Amino acid sequence: SAVISQKPSRDICQRGTSLTIQCQVDSQVTMMFWYRQQPGQSLTLIATANQGSEATYESGFVIDKFPISRPNLTFSTLTVSNMSPEDSSIYLCSVGAFMGAFFGQGTRLTVV
Amino acid sequence: AQKITQTQPGMFVQEKEAVTLDCTYDTSDQSYGLFWYKQPSSGEMIFLIYQGSYDEQNATEGRYSLNFQKARKSANLVISASQLGDSAMYFCAMTSNFGNEKLTFGTGTRLTIIP
């Protein structure tokens, strides 16, 4: 299993600002995933981050709103840009594994 | 495309009883993986158990077992001897094929264990 450190664990942000979430893995992984969980909802995949290439975004998510960096095989960041109250969610990073994906602790974001 | 359906929004179970959380799935892939996760109020996602589509035996991990019925496309989670700490949201999820490791999640079941 992988150990994933995600920070910040929570934040309260003003609308119109941006927040960058960091995800550090204790081993090298090819793919990292970013999910969003809106209040009372299930998890939805935002994008897949591969080292050395552009992230692949799911339908409904765009790079301008959720830019992702993947500078090496153990680290990734997700930025939530120009935030609005609708962006209030839990954001989780994940690494895939053949028999189980593991998640960071999540970032609970509130936009006011 | 794959789809996960969890039809139980909430369940209440007496402590020490066994509980079954339902999950059905739909996919056209021959090779896929099924997962269960626990999400306590803290928000973290805790991996519980995995079942591969070609596994003939049902997966077990301690008090958790996965009742895999491939023909019915169901992957129910069974928790034996429930404990108060089992109160949480439970999500069923799947990957469409090995190598593509992104997960599709169901809507979840909120389990409450009653003392």
Q: Determine which helix (DSSP H) or strand (DSSP E) holds A108, and give its type and residue range.
A: strand A107-111
Q: What pLDDT does residue B87 have?
A: 98
Report which of B68, B49, B71, B73 is spatially closest to residue B57, judged by C-alpha positions.
B68
Q: What is the dihedral of CA B1, B92, B111, B55, to 10 degrees?
A: 140
- Residue B99, SS3 per DSSP: coil
Nearest residue on chain A to B53, alpha-carbon basis: A99
Residues in chain B whose beta carbon is closer than 8 A to a beta carbon of chain A? 33, 35, 37, 42-45, 47, 50, 52, 91, 93, 95, 98, 101-108
Pick B50's closest partner by Cβ from A31, A45, A99: A99
Q: How far apart are the first and last CA of chain A?
A: 36
pLDDT tier, A49 (very low <50, low <70, confident <90, very high otherwise): very high
- Residue B35, SS3 per DSSP: strand
Is the separation of the CB atoms in B70 and B59 below 8 Å? Answer: no
A70 pLDDT higher than 90: yes
Pick A48's closest partner by Cβ from B42, B95, B102: B102
Q: Determine which helix (DSSP H) or strand (DSSP E) holds B97, and give its type and residue range.
A: none
Render pLDDT for B39-92 as a digit per residue (tens, 0 to 9): 999 899 999 999 999 988 999 999 999 999 999 999 999 999 999 999 999 999
Q: How many CB atoms lie within 10 A of CB A31?
A: 20
The mean pLDDT of A8-27, rounded to a whole number, is 96
A98 pLDDT higher than 80: no
